[in-house]
């Protein structure tokens, strides 16, 4: 298939168990003709065994035995589909008990998130939580799908009431772009095809919205940040003196001849060459994987960052972050964790829990300092050496970090630098 | 490139290169699991780009079931020579000879499941801490759950309920002794993406993917190639057909499809019109609804 706009859009879905999230994804794939016949056959068989009338599209997304048996989604799964306009990656996140952790995981790379609201119930606590997390993660686009419109007589009033409810509380959040779409995932209204039942709704159905959303400004193209992953030293014929710094541009542009500074050493040089996947380039931009050669022979290694000399990130050992705890084992007081930030790795300690969020009310809790699974809190971290940091709201890649528990090697927390 | 955003194939390529470099930076002794199929060929091609102008710093490891298409082995050996890479072979036949595994019985016996032991033995004896593979999440519903960096315990097992969350582009490759990782740089690619990329990059692939005349037998709704390993029953008949393969596995279980697609362009056209998933012709997946998940939990690729 030729893809017209040739872009990749990543989106995640959020919704509680019975909001129809799986049905929506199934509908999106089914109506856009992205389900293969043998997959459909398998779903039809299972639907019949379970005694459903017709095909249960929700079955399409449950990949694991336990999920099919219990009818729940345990872990984030990724789905793919392509239309003549775009390629899509769906992070299908479970709306279950572990919602915060899963939402954070699924949404960390997403351009957009879909929040499902049951038209019969309107904005409930779960909706607020989802919107709050979307705002914390600075997901560039939020689409609120008001689902099950068929169960409220496709009422325009119900739709507007929910939109108003949502807008009222979202005023306190940081969401740049919100859209509202009335849908019925079960019947397919306004998912891929325009609804005949809701002619009062004039804007685009969900798929068209996803296809046309402006996403090329989602990445920071201003601050040049190049974390060095590894050093390429071929030492073979024709490349005896080659010393390339390999990495993926986190944000901004690099051009041949740019004056750059290597951090943390602070030495300056100029970009001598840029090699992309298809050879030499005059310029490169995020999110390209490239290798940079510098004019001068300076010591550069993994964990260093090459930046433009007139625009450098902050450097600090004391970092304030919004931390989402992801692990069953609570945070241990003053315990040391391994911190990963861009290609850099250091030891870090949680010095102080400033407050936790009650994500139902969005209020700050100051007297409970215990960090357990799914908690979101503002903490002070101290690292053994300074980190080169940007605020997460300006840069998702140089503003994010994870903590790893050295006792278990598990990733226990996700952090967004303030 | 003046548009300042990447096309979807460029973005997938950039992501895969990032992952391959991350493997090199985080592991001591990684290998590329190479089967001779299109996905592992694409991963190898991406590794060439990721480390250019250096050579691919990984050895290639082939788990040889002994039931190969001869074309696959020829292709493998030629590629290894061109790359100047090291080849590690884990042999299922040796595992059988050593009594580590026993051959399956019955008409539909395959050596597919036996690969698990050979693969895990090869990982252990070569002290491999990361096996890079061409697995894609669109292949199968259990694979849709895989992480880029997928942890395997001391027994080589995958625990889908206890995976490390993967956030932003921060990949945690930490492990204890005896454990290892499977890494899938083309996780986010679909079958169509792989074909479009092969076409765009003019990557050489085994002739088996292109339509050609071949002796085949109709079994399990697909054309199984005739070979010395195939046991026919009296109702089955060997015929010659123009076919091609959509995936390459063991010669005993890989079903071909009737096709006239004898160029890459025609394959891309044909695949984009397909109404069946590519694994629809793999009889190993048809054994039960959970076949892939169950094998993966045990350490299968």
> Could you give the ipTM of this predicted complex?
0.92
Which candidate in B18, B141, B189 is best for mutational testing of the A interface (most A CBs within 10 A)?
B141
> In the prediction, which pLDDT does B298 show?
62
> In the prediction, which pLDDT does B211 show?
95
Same domain, yes or no: A349 and A409: yes
Contact present, A327 and A412 (Cβ < 8 Å) = yes
Q: Among residues A233, A321, A236, A307, which one has the least CA distance to residue A271? A: A307
Q: Cβ–Cβ of B277/A39 closer than 8 Å?
A: yes
Contact present, B45 and B32 (Cβ < 8 Å) = no
Q: Where are the alpha helices (DSSP H) in chain B?
A: 8-26, 38-51, 70-83, 92-97, 115-125, 191-201, 264-272, 291-298
> In the prediction, which pLDDT does A341 show?
98
Higher pLDDT, A395 or B220: A395
Measured between CA atoms, how close is A341 to chain B, in angstroms? 7
Residues in chain B: 301
Contact present, B108 and B127 (Cβ < 8 Å) = no
Q: Is A105 in the B-facing interface, judged by CB distances under 8 Å?
A: yes
CA A392, CA A399: separation in Å to the nearest integer? 4
CA A294, CA A288: separation in Å to the nearest integer? 18
When pLDDT is averaged across residues B176-183 and rounded to a whole number, the result is 94
For residue range A180-196, what is the model confidence (pLDDT) as tens digits?
Answer: 999 999 999 999 999 99
> Which chain B residue has its CA at the smallest distance from A80's CA?
B138
Q: Cβ–Cβ of A37/B276 closer than 8 Å?
A: yes
DSSP A193: B
Query: In which residue are the tokens 């605020």 written?
Result: A391
Name every residue whose Cβ is closer than 8 Å to that of residue A48 and which is 6 or more positions away in sequence.
none
> In the prediction, which pLDDT does B103 show?
82
Q: Among residues A387, A37, A375, which one has the least CA distance to residue B273? A: A37
Q: Is the pLDDT score of B256 beyond 70?
A: yes
Q: Cβ–Cβ of B165/A234 closer than 8 Å?
A: no
The answer to whether position A95 is within a domain reads yes
Residues in chain A: 418
Name every residue whose Cβ is closer than 8 Å to that of residue B202 and which is 6 or more positions away in sequence.
B264
CA B80, CA B87: separation in Å to the nearest integer? 7
Q: What is the dihedral of CA A164, A167, A168, A171, to 10 degrees?
A: -170
Q: Is the pLDDT score of A122 beyond 70?
A: yes
Please tell me whether residue A225 adopts helix, strand or coil conformation: strand
The domain segmentation of chain B, as residue ranges, is 8-194+289-298, 204-286
Q: Where is average pLDDT lowest: A141-145, A246-250, B103-107?
A: B103-107
Which candidate in A345, A411, A412, A415 is best for mutational testing of the B interface (most B CBs within 10 A)?
A411
Q: Is the pLDDT score of B283 beyond 70?
A: no
> In the prediction, which pLDDT does A56 show?
77
Report residue A97's pLDDT band, with 50, 70 and 90 as the boundaries.
low
Same domain, yes or no: A24 and A119: yes
Query: Residue A242 belongs to a domain with what CATH number?
Result: 2.40.30.10
> In the prediction, which pLDDT does A317 show?
97
| Cβ-based contacts of A400 with chain B (< 8 Å) | 167-168, 170
Same domain, yes or no: A149 and A65: yes
- What is the pLDDT of chain A when averaged over all its residues? 89
Angle at B231 between CA B225 and CA B236, to 5 degrees: 70
Question: What percent of chain A shows pLDDT beyond 90?
Answer: 65
When pLDDT is averaged across residues A107-124 and rounded to a whole number, the result is 93
| Cβ-based contacts of A76 with chain B (< 8 Å) | 145, 165
Measured between CA atoms, how close is B94 to chain A, in angstroms? 33
Q: Cβ–Cβ of B165/A105 closer than 8 Å?
A: yes
> In the prediction, which pLDDT does B100 show?
85
Report residue B287's pLDDT band, with 50, 70 and 90 as the boundaries.
very low
Q: Is A330 in the B-facing interface, judged by CB distances under 8 Å?
A: no
Report residue B278's pLDDT band, with 50, 70 and 90 as the boundaries.
low
Q: What is the dihedral of CA B77, B80, B81, B85, to 10 degrees?
A: -150
Question: What percent of chain B shows pLDDT beyond 90?
Answer: 55
CA B12, CA A82: separation in Å to the nearest integer? 14
When pLDDT is averaged across residues A315-328 and rounded to a whole number, the result is 95
Query: Residue A164 belongs to a domain with what CATH number?
Result: 3.40.50.300
| Facing residue for B161 by CB, picked from A74, A247, A400 | A74
Q: Where is average pLDDT lowest: A217-231, B10-24, B89-103, B104-118?
A: B104-118
Q: Is B114 in the A-facing interface, judged by CB distances under 8 Å?
A: no
The interaxial angle of helices A125-136 and A156-170, nearest 10 deg, is 50
Q: Is the pLDDT score of A70 beyond 70?
A: no
Same domain, yes or no: A288 and A344: no
> In the prediction, which pLDDT does A96 show?
64
| Facing residue for A108 by CB, picked from B168, B175, B277 | B168
When pLDDT is averaged across residues B244-268 and rounded to a whole number, the result is 89
Q: Is the pLDDT score of A68 beyond 70?
A: no
Q: Write down which residue in A283, A308, A333 finishes a domain.
A: A308
The answer to whether position A333 is within a domain reads yes
Q: Is A312 in the B-facing interface, judged by CB distances under 8 Å?
A: no
Q: How many separate domains does chain A show?
A: 3
Q: Is A231 in the B-facing interface, judged by CB distances under 8 Å?
A: no
Name every residue whose Cβ is closer than 8 Å to that of residue A63 and which is 6 or more positions away in sequence.
A77, B141, B142, B144, B145, B293
For residue range A130-178, what is the model confidence (pLDDT) as tens digits?
Answer: 898 899 999 999 999 999 999 999 999 999 999 999 999 888 888 889 9
Q: Cβ–Cβ of A109/B169 closer than 8 Å?
A: yes
Q: Write down which residue in A308, A339, A364 finishes a domain.
A: A308
The pTM score is: 0.92
Q: Is the pLDDT score of B297 beyond 70?
A: no
Contact present, A345 and A303 (Cβ < 8 Å) = yes
Report residue B290's pLDDT band, with 50, 70 and 90 as the boundaries.
low
Q: Where is average pLDDT lowest: A91-105, A125-139, B34-48?
A: A91-105
Q: Write down which residue in A212, A245, A270 finishes a domain.
A: A212
**Tally of CB atoms within 10 A around A84:** 11
Same domain, yes or no: A289 and A148: no
CA A284, CA A286: separation in Å to the nearest integer? 7
Same domain, yes or no: A351 and A402: yes
Q: Is the pLDDT score of B301 beyond 60?
A: no
Q: Where are the alpha helices (DSSP H) in B162-286?
A: 191-201, 264-272
Measured between CA atoms, how close is A169 to chain B, in angstroms? 28
- Domain B8-194+289-298: which CATH class? alpha beta
In terms of residue numbers, what domain contains A236?
225-308
**Tally of CB atoms within 10 A around A214:** 10
Q: Is A185 in the B-facing interface, judged by CB distances under 8 Å?
A: no
Q: Where is average pLDDT lowest: A6-15, B5-14, B288-297?
A: B288-297
| Facing residue for A8 by CB, picked from B11, B174, B289 | B11
> In the prediction, which pLDDT does A392 show?
95
Contact present, A313 and A390 (Cβ < 8 Å) = yes
When pLDDT is averaged across residues A250-278 and rounded to a whole number, the result is 96
When pLDDT is averaged across residues A23-36 and rounded to a whole number, the result is 85
CA A290, CA A415: separation in Å to the nearest integer? 27
Q: Is the pLDDT score of A63 beyond 60?
A: no
Name every residue whose Cβ is closer than 8 Å to that of residue A82 and which is 6 or more positions away in sequence.
A1, A3, A34, A88, B190, B192
When pLDDT is averaged across residues A366-378 and rounded to a whole number, the result is 91
When pLDDT is averaged across residues A247-262 and rounded to a whole number, the result is 96
> In the prediction, which pLDDT does A352 show?
93
Report residue B89's pLDDT band, with 50, 70 and 90 as the boundaries.
very high
> In the prediction, which pLDDT does B277 show?
67
Same domain, yes or no: A286 and A179: no
Q: Is B289 in the A-facing interface, judged by CB distances under 8 Å?
A: yes
Q: Is the pLDDT score of A64 beyond 80?
A: no
């Amino acid at each position: 298939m030729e893809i017209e706009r040739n872009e990749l859009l990543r989106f995640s879905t959020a919704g509680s168990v019975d909001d129809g999230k799986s049905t929506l994804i199934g509908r999106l794939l089914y109506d856009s003709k992205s389900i293969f016949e043998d997959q459909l056959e398998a779903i039809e068989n299972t639907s019949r065994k379970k005694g459903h009338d017709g095909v249960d599209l929700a079955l399409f997304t449950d990949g694991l035995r336990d999920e099919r048996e219990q009818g729940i989604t345990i872990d984030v799964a990724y789905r793919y589909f392509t239309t003549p306009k775009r390629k899509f990656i769906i992070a299908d996140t479970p709306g279950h008990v572990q919602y915060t952790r899963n939402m954070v995981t699924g949404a960390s790379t997403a351009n957009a998130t879909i929040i499902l609201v049951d038209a019969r119930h309107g904005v409930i606590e779960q909706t607020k939580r989802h919107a709050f997390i979307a705002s914390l993660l600075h997901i560039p686009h939020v689409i609120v799908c008001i689902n099950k419109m068929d169960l409220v007589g496709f009422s325009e009033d119900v739709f507007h009431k929910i939109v108003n409810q949502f807008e009222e509380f979202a005023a306190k959040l940081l969401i740049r772009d919100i859209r509202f779409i009335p849908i019925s995932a079960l019947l397919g209204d306004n998912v891929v095809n325009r609804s005949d039942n809701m002619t009062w709704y004039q804007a685009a159905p969900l798929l068209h919205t996803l296809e046309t959303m402006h996403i090329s400004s989602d990445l920071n193209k201003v601050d040049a940040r190049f974390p060095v992953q590894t050093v390429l030293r071929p030492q073979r014929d024709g490349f005896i003196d080659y010393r390339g710094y390999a990495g993926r541009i986190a944000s901004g542009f690099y051009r041949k001849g740019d004056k750059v500074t290597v951090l943390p050493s602070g030495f300056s040089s100029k970009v001598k060459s840029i090699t992309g996947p298809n050879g030499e380039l005059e310029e490169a931009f995020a999110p390209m994987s490239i290798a940079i050669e510098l004019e001068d022979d300076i010591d550069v290694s993994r964990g260093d960052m090459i930046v433009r000399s007139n625009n450098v990130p902050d450097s600090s050992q004391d970092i304030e972050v919004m931390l989402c705890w992801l692990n069953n084992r609570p945070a241990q007081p003053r315990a040391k964790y391994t911190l990963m930030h861009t290609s850099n790795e250091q030891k870090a300690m949680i010095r102080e829990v400033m407050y936790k969020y009650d994500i139902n009310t969005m209020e700050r809790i100051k007297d409970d300092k215990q960090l357990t699974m799914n908690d979101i809190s503002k903490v002070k971290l101290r690292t053994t050496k300074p980190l080169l940091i940007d605020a997460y709201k300006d840069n998702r890649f140089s503003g994010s970090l994870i903590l790893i528990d050295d006792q278990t090697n598990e990733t226990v927390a996700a952090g967004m630098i303030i | 490139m003046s548009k300042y955003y990447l096309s979807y194939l460029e973005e997938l390529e950039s992501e895969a290169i990032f992952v391959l470099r991350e493997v090199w930076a985080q592991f001591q002794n990684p290998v590329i699991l190479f089967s001779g199929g299109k996905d592992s060929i694409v991963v190898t091609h991406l590794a060439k780009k990721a480390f250019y102008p250096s050579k691919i710093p990984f050895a290639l490891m082939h788990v040889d079931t002994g039931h190969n298409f001869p074309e696959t082995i020829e292709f493998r050996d030629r590629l290894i020579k061109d790359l100047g890479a090291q080849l590690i072979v884990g042999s299922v036949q040796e595992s059988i000879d050593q009594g580590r595994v026993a051959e399956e019985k019955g008409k539909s016996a395959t050596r597919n499941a036996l690969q698990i032991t050979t693969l895990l033995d090869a990982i252990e004896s070569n002290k491999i801490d990361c096996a890079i593979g061409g697995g894609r999440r669109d292949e199968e519903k259990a694979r849709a759950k895989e992480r880029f960096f997928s942890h395997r315990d001391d027994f080589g097992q995958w625990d889908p309920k206890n995976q490390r969350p993967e956030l932003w582009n921060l990949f945690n490759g930490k492990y204890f002794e005896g454990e290892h990782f499977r890494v899938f740089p083309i996780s986010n690619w679909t079958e169509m993406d792989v074909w479009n990329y092969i076409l765009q990059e003019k990557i050489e692939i085994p002739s088996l993917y292109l339509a050609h005349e071949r002796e085949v037998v109709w079994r399990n709704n697909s054309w199984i190639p005739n070979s010395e390993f195939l046991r026919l029953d009296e109702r089955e008949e060997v015929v010659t057909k123009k076919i091609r393969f959509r995936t390459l596995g063991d010669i005993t279980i890989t079903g071909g499809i009737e096709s006239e697609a004898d160029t890459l362009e025609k394959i891309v056209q044909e695949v984009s019109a397909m109404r069946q998933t590519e694994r629809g012709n793999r009889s190993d997946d048809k054994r039960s609804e959970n076949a892939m998940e169950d094998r993966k939990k045990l350490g299968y690729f």
